[in-house]
Chain A
Amino acid sequence: MTPSALVVGSGSTGAAVAHDLTLRGVAVTVLERGEIASGTTGRNHGLLHSGARYAVKDRESAVECIVERDILARIMPELLELNGGLFIAVDEAGLAYREPFLEACARSGIPTRELTSVEARLLEPALGGNVLAAVEVPDGVFDPLHFCLAFLATARANGAAIRPYAEVEELVVRGSSVEGAIVRDRRTGERRTIEADIVINATGPWADRVAAMAGVDVPVAPTAGVMVAVAGRYVDRVINRLDKPSDGDIVLPQRRTVVIGTSSWPVDDPDLIAIPPEHVALMFDRGGELVPGVRGAASRPRGVFAAARPLIGRAGDASGGRELSRTFECFDHAADGIDGFVTISGGKTTTARAMAERTADVACRKLGVTSACRTAEVPLRSYREFYDA
Chain B
Amino acid sequence: MPDRQVVLRLWRTNGSNGDGRSGRFDEARVAADPGRDTVLDVIERAWALVDRTLVFRHACHHASCGTCAVRVDGRERLPCITGLGEVWDGHSALTIEPLRNSPTIRDLASDPSPTIARLASLRLPYVRTVESDVRAASGVAADDDVGAAERFEDCIECLACVSACSVASGDPEYLGPAVLAAADRIVEEPRHQDSERILDLVNGEHGVWQCRSVWACSAVCPSGVDPAGRIMKLRRRLLFGEEGGVAAIPSSSAHLGVGA
Instruction: Flag A167-202 by CB within 8 Å of B: 1 or 0 each.
Output: 000000000000000000011110000000000000
Chain B residues 52 to 70 lying within 8 A of chain A, measured CB to CB, are 53, 55, 57-65, 67
Instruction: Flag B123-158 by CB within 8 Å of A: 1 or 0 each.
Output: 001110010111100101011001001111110100
| Cα distance, A110 to B16, chains bound together (Å) | 50
Task: Mark the stretch among B87-95, B111-119, B232-240, B249-257 that contacts chain A.
Answer: B111-119
The 9 sampled A-B contact pairs (Cβ below 8 Å) are: A38-B59, A46-B64, A145-B65, A146-B126, A187-B105, A187-B106, A253-B151, A272-B49, A302-B63
Chain A residues 264 to 292 lying within 8 A of chain B, measured CB to CB, are 271-272, 274, 277
Instruction: Report A-chain residues with C-beta under 8 Å of the C-beta of B80.
Output: 303, 305
List residues of chain B with CB under 8 Å of any chain A CB: 1, 15-16, 36, 38, 44-45, 48-49, 53, 55, 57-65, 67, 80-81, 105-106, 109, 112-113, 116-117, 119-120, 125-127, 130, 132-135, 138, 140, 142-143, 146, 149-154, 156, 223-224
Chain B proximity of A288: nearest CB distance (Å): 15
Cβ-neighbour of B57 out of A38, A253, A383 (below 8 A): A38
Instruction: Report B-chain residues with C-beta under 8 Å of the C-beta of A187.
Output: 15-16, 55, 105-106
Q: Is the CB of B130 within 8 A of A236?
A: yes
Chain A proximity of B35: nearest CB distance (Å): 10
Instruction: Report B-chain residues with C-beta under 8 Å of the C-beta of A304.
Output: 38, 62
Chain A proximity of B78: nearest CB distance (Å): 9
| Cα distance, A78 to B151, chains bound together (Å) | 11
Instruction: Flag A339-378 by CB within 8 Å of B: 1 or 0 each.
Output: 0000000000000000000000000000000000000000
| Cα distance, A80 to B150, chains bound together (Å) | 9
Q: Is the CB of B109 within 8 A of A35?
A: yes
Instruction: Report B-chain residues with C-beta under 8 Å of the C-beta of A388.
Output: 113, 117, 120
Closest-by-CB residue of B relative to A83 is B149
Task: Mark the stretch among A20-28, A60-68, A254-262, A312-320 that contacts chain B.
Answer: A254-262
A331 at the interface (CB under 8 A from B): no
Chain B proximity of A245: nearest CB distance (Å): 22
Q: Is the CB of B112 within 8 A of A387?
A: yes
Q: Is the CB of A189 within 8 A of B134?
A: no
Instruction: Flag A222-243 by CB within 8 Å of B: 1 or 0 each.
Output: 0000010100111011000000
Chain A proximity of B46: nearest CB distance (Å): 11
Closest-by-CB residue of A relative to B16 is A187
Q: Is the CB of B65 within 8 A of A384?
A: no
Chain B proximity of A352: nearest CB distance (Å): 15
- Give the 4 A-B residue pairs with the shortest CB-CB distance, closest first: A303-B62, A42-B59, A305-B61, A384-B120
Chain A proximity of B175: nearest CB distance (Å): 15
Q: Is the CB of B152 within 8 A of A189?
A: no
Q: Is the CB of A143 within 8 A of B53?
A: no
Cβ-neighbour of A293 out of B60, B116, B134, B149 (below 8 A): B134
Chain A residues 197 to 232 lying within 8 A of chain B, measured CB to CB, are 227, 229, 232
| Cα distance, A14 to B166, chains bound together (Å) | 39
Chain B proximity of A380: nearest CB distance (Å): 12
| Cα distance, A82 to B147, chains bound together (Å) | 12
Dominant SS among interface residues on chain B: loop
Instruction: Report B-chain residues with C-beta under 8 Å of the C-beta of A78.
Output: 125-127
Contact status of A145 and B67, CB under 8 A, knowing A35-B57, A165-B105, A189-B15: yes
List residues of chain A with CB under 8 Å of any chain B CB: 34-38, 42-43, 46, 78-83, 122-123, 125-126, 141, 143-146, 165, 186-189, 227, 229, 232-234, 236-237, 253-257, 259, 271-272, 274, 277, 293, 302-305, 307, 382-385, 387-389
Cβ-neighbour of B67 out of A35, A83, A126, A303 (below 8 A): A35
Contact status of A81 and B127, CB under 8 A, knowing A165-B106, A302-B81: yes
Q: Is the CB of A35 within 8 A of B152?
A: no
| Cα distance, A165 to B106, chains bound together (Å) | 10
| Cα distance, A257 to B62, chains bound together (Å) | 10
| Cα distance, A126 to B146, chains bound together (Å) | 16
Q: Is the CB of B134 within 8 A of A232?
A: yes
Q: Is the CB of B45 within 8 A of A233?
A: no
Q: Is the CB of B63 within 8 A of A384?
A: no
Closest-by-CB residue of B relative to A145 is B65
Instruction: Report A-chain residues with C-beta under 8 Å of the C-beta of B126.
Output: 78-79, 146, 383
| Cα distance, A233 to B64, chains bound together (Å) | 14
Q: Is the CB of A37 within 8 A of B59?
A: yes
Instruction: Report B-chain residues with C-beta under 8 Å of the C-beta of A141.
Output: 152
Cβ-neighbour of B63 out of A227, A303, A382 (below 8 A): A303
Contact status of A188 and B16, CB under 8 A, knowing A38-B59, A145-B67: yes
Q: Is the CB of A256 within 8 A of B133?
A: yes
Chain B proximity of A226: nearest CB distance (Å): 11
Q: Is the CB of B224 within 8 A of A256?
A: yes
| Cα distance, A46 to B151, chains bound together (Å) | 13
Q: Is the CB of B65 within 8 A of A37?
A: yes
Q: Is the CB of A259 within 8 A of B62?
A: yes
Extra contacts, 9 of them, besides A35-B57, A81-B151, A123-B143 (Cβ < 8 A), are A35-B109, A42-B60, A80-B127, A145-B67, A187-B105, A271-B48, A303-B80, A305-B62, A307-B61
